[in-house]
């Protein structure tokens, strides 16, 4: 059983203490394979009993089975920050560690073939429509604006009315991308189904490999790990990471890079005139 995959699947069900332990395990990876439970308890300031419960929540029989699975995990790239000198420092470290874990998961789970497939779809599409609701709607707008600056024809929709309007003008040369962290947003999923029915190519960027959106689209791109909605940690972070990767790869095209340099220059010129 994959330890990281098990943590991702059960993260939202863990207590705050167990989540802290989970992030530590993700950061340390196979380095913990030779650690006794007492050593892990000392390093994390978490009781052995809590660690045992944590291991069972991840569907491991006991700590020894957990360690055997850990031995197969990759070695960490970055050291874990530590220290509890104040609540501010402690909580900032918690957020930092969460982001580190998300980046680690996103990087190790990159599907090169699916990324290339989406890149090909973006480059060959006549028009690109990007759908998202709530926070994912803001991410959709950001992604749309980036592509627009590269010279691509893009439209973003944050509500089901606009999605319905766009769906009725779609054709087979268009690409519709759904943005959804959980992959369960009803309005986005229904709109993607309609877009596909109308002949458009469809894709999705999501954090949830088991989300309904994955089964709907032609090209599902799964990134990062699902973050608990009860925390004030940016759930869009893993999605933005993937968008950064996609945009960086697109900018290898000289035409796109030239277009974005022109748009940046034009915006800068307007700003300079206003300052005068």
Mean pLDDT by groups of 10 residues along the chain of 276 residues = 77 80 82 90 92 91 90 61 55 73 78 94 97 95 96 96 95 96 94 95 93 96 70 77 94 92 81 64
pLDDT attached to residue 215: 96
Are the beta carbons of 22 and 14 closer than 8 angstroms?
A: yes
Given the structure tokens 């790990």, which residue do they identify?
225
Whether the model clears a pTM of 0.75, i.e. scores above it, the answer is no
CA–CA dist 122, 216 (Å, integer): 18
pLDDT attached to residue 16: 79
Are the beta carbons of 47 and 41 closer than 8 angstroms?
A: yes
pLDDT attached to residue 11: 75
Beta-sheet strand order (sheet of 128-131): 154-157, 128-131, 175-179, 201-206, 219-222
pLDDT attached to residue 86: 56
CA–CA dist 98, 115 (Å, integer): 24
Are the beta carbons of 190 and 212 closer than 8 angstroms?
A: no
pLDDT attached to residue 80: 45
| Pair of tokens at residue 194 | 């309609």
Phi, psi (rounded to 5 degrees) for 206: -145, 165
Residues paired with 131 in a beta bridge: 157, 178
pLDDT attached to residue 260: 87
Given the structure tokens 């609540």, which residue do they identify?
87
pLDDT attached to residue 89: 61
CA–CA dist 263, 150 (Å, integer): 8
Residues paired with 213 in a beta bridge: none
CA–CA dist 34, 135 (Å, integer): 42
Are the beta carbons of 153 and 127 closer than 8 angstroms?
A: yes
CB-based burial, 16-54: b 16+ in 10 Å, e otherwise: ebbbbbbbbbbbbbbebeebebeebbeebebeeeebbeb
pLDDT attached to residue 90: 65
Enumerate the H helices of 125-204 as residue ranges: 135-149, 160-167, 186-197
pLDDT attached to residue 276: 54
Quick one: which of 136, 141, 158 has its CA closest to 227? 136
């Amino acid at each position: 059983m994959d330890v990281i995959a098990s943590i991702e699947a059960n993260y939202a069900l863990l207590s705050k203490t167990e989540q802290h332990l989970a992030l530590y395990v993700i950061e340390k990876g196979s380095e913990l394979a030779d650690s006794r439970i007492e050593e892990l308890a000392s390093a994390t300031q978490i009781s052995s009993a809590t660690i045992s419960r944590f291991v069972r929540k991840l569907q491991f029989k006991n700590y020894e089975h957990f360690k055997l699975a850990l031995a197969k995990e990759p070695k960490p790239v970055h050291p874990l920050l530590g220290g509890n000198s104040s609540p501010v420092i402690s909580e900032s470290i918690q957020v930092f560690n969460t982001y580190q874990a998300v980046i680690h998961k996103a990087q190790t789970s990159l599907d090169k073939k699916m990324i290339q497939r989406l890149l090909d779809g973006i480059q060959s599409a006549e028009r690109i429509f990007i759908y998202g609701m709530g926070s994912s709607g803001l991410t959709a707008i950001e992604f749309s604006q980036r592509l627009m600056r590269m010279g691509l024809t893009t439209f973003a929709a944050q509500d089901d009315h606009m999605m319905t309007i766009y769906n009725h003008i779609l054709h087979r040369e268009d690409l519709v991308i759904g943005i959804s962290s959980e992959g369960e947003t009803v309005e986005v999923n229904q709109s993607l189904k309609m877009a596909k029915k109308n002949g458009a190519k469809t894709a999705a960027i999501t954090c949830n490999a088991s989300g309904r959106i994955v089964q709907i689209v032609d090209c599902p791109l799964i990134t990062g790990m699902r973050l608990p909605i009860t925390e004030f940690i940016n759930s869009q972070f893993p999605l933005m990471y993937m968008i950064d990767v996609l945009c960086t790869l697109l900018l290898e095209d000289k035409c796109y890079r030239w277009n974005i340099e022109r748009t940046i220059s034009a915006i800068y010129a307007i700003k300079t005139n206003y300052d005068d």
